[in-house]
Amino acid sequence: MAGEPQADCLFCKIVAGDVPATVVRETDTTVAFRDINPQAPSHVLIIPKVHYPDAASLAAAEPVIAADILREAGEVALEEKAESYRVVFNTGSGAGQTVFHAHAHVLGGRGLQWPPG
Ligand code: 5GP
Ligand code: ZN
């Protein structure tokens, strides 16, 4: 069924507590935790507790939860004291997506170039 946990999904395992993570915030619908390979002084991932392979499919099926992730991005940036920050949804392997459970990267704590590489 859509949104159900997937046995082979790393981020579903983090939601279940079966894989440890440094959790910085949790809501009824989302978990925010530090990226294991940070690309900035502050690099937090925000995931929905439900499983969808990418942000667009999450937004199509569960628009309220997609909005929860965007709101949480702002809360994470506040807590991390990141005055400026970037929210990234890598979508598809050609764009660098490696974990196919929807997630937002929230990057801050350094200058961020635009356009990105
Ligand atoms: P993507 O490349 O799919 O946009 O982002 C996946 C992110 O998950 C990467 O930045 C990667 O460093 C992070 N990641 C991969 N495995 C783990 C893990 O076991 N724990 C945590 N906290 N982050 C992970
Ligand atoms: Zn998953």
pLDDT for 27: 98
CA distances to 23, 40, 54, 113 from 57, in Å? 24, 27, 6, 28
**Which of helix, strand or coil describes residue 10?**
helix
Answering whether pTM is above 0.95, one says: yes
pLDDT for 14: 98
Cβ atoms 59, 50 nearer than 8 A: no
Q: Whose CA is nearest to atom 12 of ligand 1?
A: 37
The CATH number given to whatever domain includes residue 37 is 3.30.428.10
* 115, part of any domain: no
Closest CA to 103 of 85, 90, 93, 117: 90
Q: Which atom of ligand 1 is nearest to the CA of 22?
A: 22
Report mean pLDDT in 10-residue bins for the chain, 117 residues. 94 98 98 98 98 98 98 98 97 97 98 90
Ligand 1 lined by 33 (C-beta under 6 Å): yes
* 79, part of any domain: yes
Closest CA to 50 of 82, 4, 96, 85: 4
- Which residues face 105 on adjacent strands? 45, 88
0.95 surpassed by complex ipTM: yes
Q: Whose CA is nearest to atom 15 of ligand 1?
A: 36
* 5, part of any domain: no
Mutate to test the pocket of ligand 1, among 19, 99, 105 (most ligand atoms within 8 A of CB): 99
Domain range for 21 is 10-108
pLDDT for 1: 77
